């Protein structure tokens, strides 16, 4: 058997959404698991809607999540001539025919069928008609001569055997009257030209597969194996589309979802391997198989994406996390000042415990990143006169320390607690609010040690008066 070859074939008519991303992932994982190849084909034959920027976004998205395609991108529009030639060959072989029906005529038939509530199927008017009857002024389309009798069985690698009556598949158009090929023709020809062994794609292509198999058969081509994966549904159970919010990659990267987390989430959405939840990239390649793909559609669950992300944030190396945070802030928030980098890096050990996303880390480290404290007004009210006195006492006590450490801070705080007849909270909370602007945040020692002494004095003096 030839080496496994799969492909992902998006059309650049919009940004890639995560359903497509998962399809790409499954194709890629399958080929890598089998030691095969994975290709990217850009189906850009819809001139009106295809955009270069979308193509770039698709490639960027794949790269972001860690999918690399083998070889160059296969650009479908460059192969149109091949597709047309195959259409002509089918015509010559009598496997296809010219149809002189006008779009209006077809439209009319559909309308009538709908009114009568009978299923519409093209009436095959020109299937056996002679050329001599052809109206000269109409440019014909070329239709494929689909099988009329019997039934076909698709041995789907995910769905099992699917049987369908051949007469429910109409004589579909393979060449438009402007001479351009249509999807089912182009896809079949390209998959053949690219020597695809396995076509893994969304459930929504099932009927196309029956059409495409007939094209393969008409040309005596090897038929690849097919696996139709269930679609991803929105929370209200509908097919995910580009227009749904939180569907494109940007929606996730901008809130600070890590690519490995999204990859892991997508892998487990509709696929499973025993009770295993966390898969490293290597493991996902090692364990991926088609048997593990479920048959029913699955819904997108944001809280799971977040918790997966939380897991990766807590478990990747802090150096790596810092690089990701730095890139994230520069891209979506503000650039981290070089002078602050070291402080943030050191603080990551406690910051990451409070975060599900990079955005959370950013928010929690804002008091380090920004020079000015932005106060929560409600929290600021908690600083009463007694608190102010504690704050000033604290400032006075640390002002003659050279360096701050937990060892030399602890006695000071304990003394303040005693002198003011309060508890840890009575001292910690005013300091936290004064330094970060919020009563929520890291432990007070962590906060103090993540700031410069001058800065601490400045901030506390300001709120203490």
Partner RNA sequence: GGUCCCUUCGUCUAUCGGUUAGGACACAUGGUUUUCAUCCAUGAAAGAGGGGUUCGAUUCCCCUAGGGACCGCCA
Site for RNA in 400-419 (CB under 7 A): none
Please name which of 301, 305, 309, 336 lies closest in space to residue 322, comparing C-alpha atoms: 336
DSSP H or E stretch at residue 152: strand 151-156
User: In this complex, which beta carbon is closest to RNA, that of residue 232 or of residue 329?
Assistant: 232
Q: What is the dihedral of CA 372, 422, 443, 365, to 10 degrees?
A: -10
Q: Are 293 and 226 in contact (CB under 8 A)?
A: no
Cα–Cα distances in angstroms (integers) from residue 160 to residues 23, 104, 204, 418, in the given order: 19, 39, 16, 74
Q: By CB under 7 A, name the one of 33, 34, 46, 453 that touches RNA.
A: 46
37-42: strand order across its sheet: 5-8, 37-42, 74-75
Site for RNA in 364-403 (CB under 7 A): none
User: In this complex, which beta carbon is closest to RNA, that of residue 125 or of residue 239?
Assistant: 239
Residue 452: φ, ψ to 5°: -75, 150
Number of residues binding to RNA, judged by CB under 7 A? 84
Please name which of 293, 360, 396, 331 lies closest in space to residue 23, comparing C-alpha atoms: 293
Q: How far is the CB of 384 from RNA (least distance, A)?
A: 17
Q: How far is the CB of 338 from RNA (least distance, A)?
A: 28
Distance linking the first and last C-alpha atoms of the chain: 81
Site for RNA in 262-301 (CB under 7 A): 268-272, 274-275, 277, 292, 294-299, 301
Site for RNA in 196-225 (CB under 7 A): 203-208
Q: By CB under 7 A, name the one of 307, 376, 420, 461 that touches RNA.
A: 307
| Contact pattern for RNA over residues 25 through 44, marking x by CB under 7 A | ------------------x-
Q: Is 70 in the site for RNA (CB under 7 A)?
A: no
User: To the nearest 5 percent, what fractions of the chain are helix, strand and coil?
Assistant: 50, 10, 35
User: In this complex, which beta carbon is closest to RNA, that of residue 151 or of residue 327?
Assistant: 151
Q: Count, in order, helices (H) and strands (E) of the chain.
A: 20, 12
User: In this complex, which beta carbon is closest to RNA, that of residue 271 or of residue 362?
Assistant: 271
Residue 155's DSSP bridge partners are 161
Could you identify the residue written with the tokens 């987390």? 261
Listed ranges 19-27, 32-40, 99-107, 330-338: which one lies at the site for RNA (CB under 7 A): 99-107
User: In this complex, which beta carbon is closest to RNA, that of residue 49 or of residue 93?
Assistant: 49
Site for RNA in 125-184 (CB under 7 A): 141, 159-160, 162-165, 168, 173, 176-178, 180, 182-184
Q: How far is the CB of 110 from RNA (least distance, A)?
A: 6
Q: Are 368 and 354 in contact (CB under 8 A)?
A: no
Q: Are 51 and 89 in contact (CB under 8 A)?
A: no
User: In this complex, which beta carbon is closest to RNA, that of residue 341 or of residue 376?
Assistant: 376
Q: By CB under 7 A, name the one of 64, 120, 287, 332 that touches RNA.
A: 120
Q: By CB under 7 A, name the one of 93, 112, 335, 425 that touches RNA.
A: 425
- Classify strands 232-233 and 298-299 as parallel, antiparallel or unpaired: parallel
Listed ranges 5-13, 252-260, 317-325, 365-373: which one lies at the site for RNA (CB under 7 A): 5-13
User: In this complex, which beta carbon is closest to RNA, that of residue 70 or of residue 446?
Assistant: 446
Listed ranges 60-68, 114-122, 338-346, 394-402: which one lies at the site for RNA (CB under 7 A): 114-122
Site for RNA in 431-460 (CB under 7 A): 432, 439-446
Q: Are 10 and 44 in contact (CB under 8 A)?
A: no
Listed ranges 29-37, 60-68, 110-118, 318-326: which one lies at the site for RNA (CB under 7 A): 110-118
Q: How far is the CB of 58 from RNA (least distance, A)?
A: 12
User: In this complex, which beta carbon is closest to RNA, that of residue 49 or of residue 286?
Assistant: 49
Site for RNA in 324-343 (CB under 7 A): none
Q: By CB under 7 A, name the one of 193, 231, 392, 412 that touches RNA.
A: 231
User: In this complex, which beta carbon is closest to RNA, that of residue 3 or of residue 179?
Assistant: 179
DSSP H or E stretch at residue 142: strand 141-144
Listed ranges 23-31, 81-89, 90-98, 228-236: which one lies at the site for RNA (CB under 7 A): 228-236
Site for RNA in 341-360 (CB under 7 A): 353-354
- Classify strands 225-229 and 198-202 as parallel, antiparallel or unpaired: parallel
What is d(CA 210, CA 205) in angstroms, rounded to the nearest whole number? 9
Please name which of 427, 436, 432 lies closest in space to residue 389, comparing C-alpha atoms: 427
User: In this complex, which beta carbon is closest to RNA, that of residue 203 or of residue 341?
Assistant: 203
Within 8 A by CB and 6+ apart from 109, the residues are: 120, 122, 123
Cα–Cα distances in angstroms (integers) from residue 277 to residues 254, 264, 391, in the given order: 25, 8, 47
What is d(CA 366, CA 373) in angstroms, rounded to the nearest whole number? 8
Residue 141's DSSP bridge partners are 99
């Amino acid at each position: 058997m030839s080496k496994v070859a799969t492909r992902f074939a998006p059309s650049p008519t919009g940004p890639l959404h995560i359903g497509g991303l998962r399809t790409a992932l499954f194709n890629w994982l399958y080929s890598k698991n089998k030691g095969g190849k994975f290709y990217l084909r850009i189906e850009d034959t819809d001139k009106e809607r295809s955009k270069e920027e979308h193509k770039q976004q698709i490639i960027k998205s794949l790269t972001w999540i860690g999918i690399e395609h083998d070889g160059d991108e296969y650009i479908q529009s460059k192969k149109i001539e091949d597709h047309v030639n195959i259409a002509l060959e089918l015509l010559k072989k009598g496997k296809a025919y010219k149809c002189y029906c006008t779009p209006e005529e077809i439209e009319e038939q559909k309308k009538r069928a709908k009114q009568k509530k009978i299923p519409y199927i093209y009436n095959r008017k020109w299937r056996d008609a002679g050329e001599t009857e052809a109206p000269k002024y109409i440019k014909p389309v070329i239709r494929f001569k689909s099988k009329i009798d019997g039934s076909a069985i698709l041995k789907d690698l995910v769905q099992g055997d699917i049987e369908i009556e051949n007469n429910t598949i109409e004589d579909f158009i393979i060449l438009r009257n402007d001479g351009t090929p249509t999807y089912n023709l182009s896809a079949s020809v390209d998959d053949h030209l690219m020597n695809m062994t396995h076509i893994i794609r969304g459930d929504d292509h099932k009927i196309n597969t029956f059409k495409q198999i007939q094209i393969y058969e008409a040309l005596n081509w090897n038929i690849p194996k097919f696996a139709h994966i269930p679609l991803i549904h929105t929370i209200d159970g509908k097919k995910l589309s580009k227009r749904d919010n939180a569907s494109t990659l940007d929606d996730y990267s901008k809130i600070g979802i890590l690519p490995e987390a999204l990859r892991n989430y997508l892998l487990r959405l509709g696929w499973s391997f025993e009770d295993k939840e966390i898969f490293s990239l290597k493991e996902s390649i090692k364990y991926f198989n088609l048997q593990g793909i479920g048959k029913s559609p699955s819904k997108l669950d944001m809280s799971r994406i977040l918790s997966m992300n939380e897991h990766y944030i807590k478990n990747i190396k802090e150096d790596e996390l810092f690089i990701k945070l730095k890139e994230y802030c520069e891209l979506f928030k503000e650039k981290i000042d070089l002078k602050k980098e070291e402080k943030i890096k050191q603080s990551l050990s406690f910051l990451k415990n409070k975060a599900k996303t990079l955005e959370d880390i950013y928010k929690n480290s804002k008091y380090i990143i920004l020079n000015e404290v932005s106060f929560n007004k409600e929290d600021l009210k908690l600083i009463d006169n007694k608190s102010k006195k504690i704050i000033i006492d604290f400032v006075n006590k640390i002002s003659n320390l050279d360096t701050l450490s937990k060892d030399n801070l602890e006695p000071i705080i304990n003394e303040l607690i005693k002198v003011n007849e309060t508890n840890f909270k009575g001292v910690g909370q005013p300091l936290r609010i004064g330094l970060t602007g919020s009563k929520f945040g890291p432990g007070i020692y962590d906060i103090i040690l993540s700031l410069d002494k001058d800065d601490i004095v400045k901030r506390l003096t300001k709120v203490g008066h």
